Amino acid sequence: MMKNLFFLTVAVALTAVFAGCNKNMDAPEVGVTINGVTWATRNVDAPGKFANNPQDAGMFYQWNRKKGWPVTGTVTGWPTTPASGTTWATANDPCPTGWRVPTKSELAALVAAGTTFGTYNGVNGLYAGSAPDRIFLPLPGERSPASGAIDGIGKAGIYWSSTQFNDGCAGALEFYLPGSSVRIYDDLNKLCGFSIRCVKN
């Protein structure tokens, strides 16, 4: 009995240690706090819903629009005129209740916390932050501004900010494989379809 109890105790301890490598990764409603900002552990899927797993692509969104677009296949009805507004309006925010699209400054602070290319459950992507307080960002690619055609699946990760640059462009986080630099852009086309990673209100 004592021997079985010993092995059970060791197993529980090891589970806690390995789970600690990615704290809260499986608790999207909790998130992970990095540099004072609490980040969701997965992308936005349909409006108001997180993707099921940290490695899942979720859906693509044009800037300041709530309609989600699939990350594979062709689409029809792709808007070719940018949404109005100087910031991402609350009414158009696809994040679940209690969450919102991050600002460009918040994305920059996330990058400043440290980034490393790696895999999560066999999917390539980018870790941001330092374990155990880090999140995983997959590489879903993007949809082009002109037609909504898909590009860069598994090679590009581009995540919107709520910060406008001008009438046609806004800020975003962008990174590519293999192992390119991680950059914050001011002026990406608002008509592109990019991913969204939310922060807590």
- Each domain of the chain, given as residue ranges in start order, spans 2-200
Beta strand 150-151 with 183-189 is unpaired
* Per-chain mean pLDDT for the chain: 89
Band of pLDDT at residue 179, cut at 50, 70 and 90: confident
Band of pLDDT at residue 27, cut at 50, 70 and 90: low
53 three-class SS:
coil
What H or E segment, with its residue span, contains residue 124?
strand 123-130
Higher pLDDT, 26 or 38: 38
Instruction: Tell whether the model's pLDDT for residue 1 goes beyond 80.
Output: no
Spatial distance between the Cα atoms of 52 and 92, rounded to a whole number of angstroms:
22
From 123, 135, 131, 121, select the one nearest 18 (Cα to Cα).
131
pLDDT computed for residue 144 by the predictor: 98
Band of pLDDT at residue 130, cut at 50, 70 and 90: very high
Band of pLDDT at residue 163, cut at 50, 70 and 90: very high
Spatial distance between the Cα atoms of 10 and 30, rounded to a whole number of angstroms:
27
Q: Tell me if 198 sits within 8 A of 96, measured CB to CB.
A: yes
Instruction: Tell whether the model's pLDDT for residue 62 goes beyond 90.
Output: yes
pTM: 0.87
